[in-house]
């Protein structure tokens, strides 16, 4: 049937119509189609059936086959009124089919509160050429219900409160013009519900409080030009949900408090326009939600308070466009933003996640992970490969940065070191200097470990010699002063070395390996132990009064002590000045 027409003309003639299946009709409707310029683009023939005849068939409980028929002003509300039925009394319709039919009405084609028996119900290829299409409160038995390849020219379609038994509901490849498409409060049985490749144009598309059972919900490659798409309060069972390559236009997309059930949800490559995208309070019991390579526009994106503790959600390579993105107090099993460009404020203050993957991202604005009014439970945080141009708001202690990076299973020592470096540089830029020191220590430790591992892998002599520089760095840089981040530890190390050298001189004198001599006698009657510690002090701090001097092997020890003294005092100076200058 011709679909791309702007207007049409109906001419009914008293000529017998014979359908392809042999059914006859005493009159023929000739429908001529015109384009936007008013030029004729084709015509179609239909059997012109009197609507009163249809009402009689319904009243008699006979099968109703309207395939290839032209039906004007069909209304079950009128049927109930003429037959003295209550306004919402269900009208039984048996064995219904209206394939490739043509419905025409000044106000509406009315199937409200109809009750279809079990079996296939088909409007496939049908045109609702004029007037609203109403199926409010209808009840469909078990079997497939088909609206595929159907044209709704008025654009106003109502299925509010309809109930479907087990079977497929097929709305594929249909065209619905501008208007309100109302699928609220519907209940579907088990089976596939498909709006794949349907064009909804602009207006409101409402699935508020609709219940989908087990099976499949298919919205793949559906196109919406603008308006509102509203699924809030809807409930899905064990259902695969497909929104792949769906084009939402500049619509306000609302999935608030939707229960996605336990199936797999696919928004891959979907295109959201410049309207608001809202998933606040949405939940699921298990499964995966994927937004891979989706595109979003300039409106706000709200993923707050989502309850998906057992669900993995992936936004890998998604383009978030302009506008803030928030995941405030949401709970996921795994959330991945791998390889995304985060160009605007991004709120990732999750309440809970086993893994937050923001690896290979480019952050140009603020990425907020720092809690302030509720605890954050992120077991593993992956920052590997991040390009941090903006700022990362995070707290070393409250976000458990150390544990969340070390718990990574799929990253190398070098990658862990690089993540600590990112945090160190970020803390420096945000003025969190205590956190910067913590991150710097871990960065240097894991940098050293990764270098040791890489040298060991070369084999040969390198496998043994690599422990020398590693041990030197481990002792002097890490253990003695925490890489110059702790003047207190350096000062403690200074006291430790002084005591060590003092006892060393004392034991050398006891064993005869060396001796501390006095050049002025012993006017203060110092004991051997006291004189050993006195000499260790003036040597370590390079005072050099000259009233004592070493003999024997103590000369070697004194030379080494002098070097250590200069080194440790320089180390302390660097650590102390680094602290106060910041």
568, 546 contact by CB (below 8 A): no
Token pair 């925490």 in the structure block, residue = 482
Say what the pLDDT of residue 94 is.
92
487-581 carries CATH number 1.10.287.70: yes
How far apart are the C-alpha atoms of 328 and 346, rounded to whole Å?
Answer: 10
Here the tokens at position 265 are 């949800």
Say what the pLDDT of residue 524 is.
67
User: 283: number of CA atoms within 13 Å, CB side?
Assistant: 9
Q: Give 554-573 pLDDT, tens digit per residue.
A: 889 889 988 988 988 888 88
59, 91 contact by CB (below 8 A): no
Say what the pLDDT of residue 262 is.
87
294, 271 contact by CB (below 8 A): yes
Strand partners for 205: 181, 229
pLDDT along the chain (582 residues), means of 10: 86 91 91 91 93 94 94 95 92 94 96 95 96 96 96 96 96 95 95 95 95 92 94 92 95 95 92 94 91 93 95 95 92 96 94 95 94 86 95 93 93 95 93 91 93 84 80 85 85 90 89 81 75 87 81 88 88 83 72
How far apart are the C-alpha atoms of 498 and 244, rounded to whole Å?
Answer: 71
User: 452: number of CA atoms within 13 Å, CB side?
Assistant: 17
SS3 412: coil
Say what the pLDDT of residue 523 is.
63
Distance set, CA 383 to CA 319, 394, 400, 410, 436 (Å): 19, 12, 14, 12, 16
């Amino acid at each position: 049937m011709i679909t791309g027409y702007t207007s049409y003309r109906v001419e009914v003639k008293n000529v017998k119509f014979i359908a392809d299946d042999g059914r006859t009709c005493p009159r023929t409707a000739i429908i001529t189609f015109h384009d936007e310029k008013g030029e004729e683009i084709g015509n179609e023939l239909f059997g012109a059936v009197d609507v009163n005849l249809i009402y009689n068939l319904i009243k008699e409980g006979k099968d109703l086959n309207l395939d290839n028929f032209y039906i004007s002003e069909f209304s079950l509300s009128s049927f109930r009124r003429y037959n003295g039925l209550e306004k919402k009394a269900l009208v039984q319709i048996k064995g219904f089919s209206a394939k490739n039919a043509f419905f025409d009405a000044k106000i509406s084609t009315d199937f409200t509160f109809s009750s279809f028996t079990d079996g296939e119900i088909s409007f496939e290829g049908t045109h609702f050429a004029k007037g609203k299409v109403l199926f409010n409160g209808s009840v469909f038995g078990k079997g497939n219900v088909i609206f595929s390849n159907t044209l709704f020219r008025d654009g106003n379609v109502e299925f509010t409160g309809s109930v479907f038994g087990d079977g497929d509901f097929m709305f594929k490849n249909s065209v619905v013009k501008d208007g309100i498409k109302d699928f609220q409060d519907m209940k579907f049985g088990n089976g596939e519900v498909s709006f794949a490749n349907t064009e909804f144009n602009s207006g409101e598309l409402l699935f508020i409080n609709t219940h989908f059972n087990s099976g499949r919900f298919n919205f793949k490659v559906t196109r919406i030009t603008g308006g509102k798409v509203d699924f809030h309060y809807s409930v899905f069972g064990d259902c695969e949900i497909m929104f792949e390559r769906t084009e939402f236009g500049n619509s306000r997309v609302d999935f608030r408090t939707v229960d996605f059930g336990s199936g797999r949800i696919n928004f891959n490559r979907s295109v959201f326009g410049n309207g608001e995208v809202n998933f606040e309070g949405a939940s699921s019991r298990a499964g995966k939600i994927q937004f891979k390579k989706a595109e979003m526009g300039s409106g706000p994106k709200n993923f707050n308070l989502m309850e998906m503790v057992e669900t993995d959600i992936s936004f890998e390579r998604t383009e978030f466009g302009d506008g803030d993105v928030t995941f405030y107090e949401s709970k996921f099993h795994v959330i991945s933003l791998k390889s995304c460009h985060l160009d605007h404020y991004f709120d990732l203050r999750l309440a809970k996640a086993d893994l937050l993957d923001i690896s290979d991202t480019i952050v140009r604005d603020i990425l907020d992970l720092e809690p302030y009014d509720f605890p954050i439970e992120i077991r593993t945080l992956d920052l590997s490969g991040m390009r941090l141009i903006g700022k990362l708001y995070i707290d070393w202690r409250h976000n458990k940065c150390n544990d969340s990076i070390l718990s990574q299973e799929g990253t190398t020592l070098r990658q862990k070191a690089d993540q600590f470096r990112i945090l160190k540089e970020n803390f420096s830029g945000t003025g969190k200097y205590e956190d910067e020191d913590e991150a710097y220590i871990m960065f240097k430790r894991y940098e050293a470990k990764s270098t040791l591992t890489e040298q060991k892998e070369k084999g040969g002599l390198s496998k043994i010699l690599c422990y020398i520089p590693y041990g030197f760095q481990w002792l002097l840089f890490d253990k003695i002063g925490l890489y110059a981040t702790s003047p207190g530890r350096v000062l403690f190390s200074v006291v430790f070395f002084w005591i060590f050298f003092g006892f060393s001189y004392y034991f050398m004198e006891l064993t005869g390996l060396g001796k501390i001599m006095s050049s002025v006698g012993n006017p203060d009657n110092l004991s051997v132990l006291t004189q050993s510690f006195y000499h260790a002090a003036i040597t370590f701090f390079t005072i050099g009064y000259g009233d004592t001097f070493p003999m024997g092997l103590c000369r070697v020890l004194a030379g080494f002590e002098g070097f250590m003294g200069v080194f440790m005092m320089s180390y302390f100076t660097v650590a102390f000045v680094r602290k106060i200058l910041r």
